[in-house]
Amino acid sequence: MSNINYENEAATLSKNKLLSAKSLTCIREDRLLFEALNIDVSPGDIVQIEGPNGAGKTSLLRILAGLSQPYEGSVYFQAENISEQREAFHQNLLYLGHLPGVKDEMTAQENLEFNLALHGLNKATAESTLAEVSLLGFEDTLASHLSAGQHRRIALARLWQSQAKVWILDEPFTAIDKLGVEKLEQLFLHHANNGGCVILTTHQELSLPAERVKKVTLAYRFY
Question: Considering only CA atoms, which of 138, 137, 183 is closest in space to residue 156?
Answer: 183
The contacts of residue 174 (CB under 8 Å, 6+ apart) are 98, 148, 152
Quickly state the pLDDT bin for 175 (edges 50, 70, 90): confident
**Does this model's pTM top 0.85?**
yes
- Of all residues in the chain, the percent with pLDDT exceeding 90 is 76
User: Rg of the chain's alpha carbons, rounded to an integer?
Assistant: 17
Residue 107: give the domain boundaries. 102-163
Under DSSP, the state recorded for 65 is T
Under DSSP, the state recorded for 210 is G
Q: Give a yes or no: residue 20 inside a domain.
A: no
pLDDT (mean) for 64-92: 95
Query: Average pLDDT of the chain?
Result: 90
| pLDDT tens digits along 9-35 | 333 334 579 999 999 999 998 999 999
| Domain count across the chain | 1
Contact yes or no for 192/212 (Cβ under 8 A):
yes
Q: Is residue 164 helix, strand or coil?
A: coil
Q: Give a yes or no: residue 90 inside a domain.
A: no
Question: Considering only CA atoms, which of 222, 186, 182 is closest in space to residue 204?
Answer: 182
Quickly state the pLDDT bin for 100 (edges 50, 70, 90): confident
Q: Give a yes or no: residue 110 inside a domain.
A: yes
Q: Give a yes or no: residue 92 inside a domain.
A: no
Q: Give a yes or no: residue 55 inside a domain.
A: no
